[in-house]
């Protein structure tokens, strides 16, 4: 009996693996079967397939494209450079050029850091020194156990002992110089006090005396006063007169020993007080002449007579006496007096320039008589007596 074959069951389609192309599961009719990829040689790459003519080109986009990429800057780099400097050189965030510009920027930052560091160091050291000073200023470590005060020409050890007291607890760091100076300046000779610290325990004080300006002799009595350079009275001094010597000549000798100017004939209305300013008009007139004369002419004057402000006179080193009058037309009076001295060298005993336009001169009347000497300006003859003299008029206009 002929057996009839049983009908075959329909084939179940195979499950398409994930990511497989649909055409792989359902091949087109009449298409040639593809060669499996696994059958290709593992070391060869499959050749790229050219798309069929007329079919659109399929492009796959990378889903990670653009992430983390920098957008190109439209601004050119500093200095015209196309590239940019490394990030560690561009700390400020602003683009900088490469090469010399980068080095200059780096050096500038270094200088700024150096200056800042030095300034901080100075502040720290200054603060430390200040703290140390306040910590030690009252410490017995620098106590003034040895105080040395050297006497000066006119200030003795006894004067210093009577005037100066160093307070207890004084150290080389807390010494009050103003207080010590105020004590010692009670002596009118003292102008200031200089302080020297000799660590650890010695304090040296040096007295600076006033500079002397003149020795002033009153019209009455044998007493003179020292006048300081600051225009204040210092102290009186007795004038020792030798036999046959006038008081003015003795005063001139004393003034020259001190290296100062002599002022005589000061009226009794002047009342000097030690440490007080000399404000009398006669002394002010003398100052006007001294400041108005040239230095060369002033150097020839050894003394002034100041009996009144309108009757000032002076005596030169050669003993010539010049009547000056009031402190007016000082320059003209000097010119006339100098002209007469040049015209009659060694022959003049007296010049009157109160009115410089009509000055007069008194000359020695004998060849045996020379010009006077000393503060009195007297002409001494061959026998030591005064001799007669002749007076001449002089006109500055002719």
DSSP-assigned states of every residue in 79-145 = GG-SS---TTT-TTSS---STHHHHHHHHHHHHHHHHHHHHHHHHHHHHHHHHHHHHHTT-GGGB--
Whether 318 shows a pLDDT value over 80: the answer reads: yes
pLDDT band at 86 (very low <50, low <70, confident <90, very high): low
Measuring CA to CA, which residue among 182, 155, 156, 157 is closest to residue 167?
182
Position 382 scores a pLDDT of 33
Is 1 or 264 the better-scoring residue by pLDDT? Answer: 264
Position 191 scores a pLDDT of 92
Whether 48 shows a pLDDT value over 50: the answer reads: no
254: its two tokens: 């004393």
Q: How far is CA 269 from CA 172, 220, 265, 281, 284, in A?
A: 49, 11, 11, 11, 14
Q: For residues 381 and 391, is the Cβ–Cβ distance under 8 A? A: no
Whether 307 shows a pLDDT value over 60: the answer reads: yes
Q: What is the dihedral of CA 113, 119, 124, 129, to 10 degrees?
A: 150
Q: How far apart are CA 116 and CA 132, in angstroms?
A: 24
Position 369 scores a pLDDT of 46
Measuring CA to CA, which residue among 167, 163, 165, 169 is closest to residue 184?
163
Q: Please, what is the angle between helix 330-343 and helix 281-292, to 10°?
A: 60
Q: How far apart are CA 166 and CA 379, in angstroms?
A: 58
Position 387 scores a pLDDT of 40
**Phi, then psi, of 349 in degrees rounded to 5:** -115, -25
Measuring CA to CA, which residue among 142, 253, 268, 125 is closest to residue 201?
142
pLDDT band at 278 (very low <50, low <70, confident <90, very high): very high
Do the bridges between strand 212-218 and strand 389-395 make them parallel or antiparallel, or are there none, so unpaired?
unpaired
Q: How far apart are CA 233 and CA 226, in angstroms?
A: 6
Q: Averaged over 59-64, what is the pLDDT? A: 56
Cis amide linkage into residue 186, ω under 30° from 0: no
Q: How far is CA 4 from the centre of its chain?
A: 136
pTM here is 0.61
Q: For residues 314 and 330, is the Cβ–Cβ distance under 8 A? A: no
Position 81 scores a pLDDT of 45
Q: How far apart are CA 85 and CA 340, in angstroms?
A: 92
Burial group, residue 290, by CB count within 10 angstroms (0-12, 13-18, 19+): middle
SS3 content of the chain, % helix, strand, coil (to 5): 25, 25, 50
Least confident of 82-86, 121-125, 275-279, 291-295: 82-86
**157-184 pLDDT tens trace:** 899 989 999 998 899 889 999 999 999 9
Position 101 scores a pLDDT of 86
Q: For residues 177 and 213, is the Cβ–Cβ distance under 8 A? A: no
Q: How far apart are CA 370 and CA 379, in angstroms?
A: 6
Position 272 scores a pLDDT of 94
């Amino acid at each position: 009996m002929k057996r009839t074959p049983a009908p075959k069951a329909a084939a179940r389609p195979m499950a398409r693996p994930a990511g497989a192309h649909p055409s792989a599961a359902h091949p087109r009719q009449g298409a040639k079967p593809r060669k499996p990829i696994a059958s290709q040689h593992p070391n060869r790459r499959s050749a790229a397939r050219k798309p069929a003519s007329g079919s659109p080109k399929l492009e796959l986009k990378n889903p990670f494209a653009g992430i983390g990429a920098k957008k190109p800057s439209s601004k050119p780099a500093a200095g015209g450079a196309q590239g940019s400097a490394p990030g560690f050189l561009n700390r400020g965030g602003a683009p900088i050029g490469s090469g010399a510009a980068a080095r200059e920027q780096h050096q500038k930052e270094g200088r700024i850091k150096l200056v800042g560091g030095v300034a901080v160091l100075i502040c720290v050291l200054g603060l430390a020194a200040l703290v140390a000073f306040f910590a030690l200023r009252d410490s017995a470590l620098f106590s003034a156990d040895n105080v040395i005060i050297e006497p000066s020409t006119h200030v003795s050890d006894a004067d210093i002992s009577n005037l100066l007291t160093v307070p207890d607890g004084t150290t080389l760091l807390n010494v009050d110089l103003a207080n010590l100076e105020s004590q010692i300046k009670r002596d009118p000779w003292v102008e200031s006090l200089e302080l020297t610290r000799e660590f650890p325990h010695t304090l040296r004080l040096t007295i600076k005396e006033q500079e002397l300006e003149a020795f002033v002799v009153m019209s009455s009595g044998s007493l003179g006063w020292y006048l300081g350079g600051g225009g204040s009275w210092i102290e009186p001094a007795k004038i020792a007169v030798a036999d046959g010597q006038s008081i003015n000549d003795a005063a001139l000798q004393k003034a020259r020993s001190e290296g100062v100017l002599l002022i005589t004939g000061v009226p009794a209305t002047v009342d000097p007080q030690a440490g007080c300013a000399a404000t009398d008009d006669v002394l002010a007139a003398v100052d006007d002449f001294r400041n108005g004369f040239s230095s060369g002419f002033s150097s020839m004057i050894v003394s002034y007579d100041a009996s009144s402000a309108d009757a000032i006179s002076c005596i030169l080193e050669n003993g010539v006496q010049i009547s000056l009058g009031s402190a007016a037309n000082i320059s003209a009076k000097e010119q006339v007096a100098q002209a007469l001295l040049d015209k009659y060298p060694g022959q003049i005993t007296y010049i009157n320039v109160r009115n410089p336009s009509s000055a007069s001169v008194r000359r020695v009347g004998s060849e045996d008589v020379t010009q006077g000497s000393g503060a009195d300006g007297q002409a001494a003859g061959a026998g030591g007596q005064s001799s007669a003299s002749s007076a001449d008029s002089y006109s500055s206009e002719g």
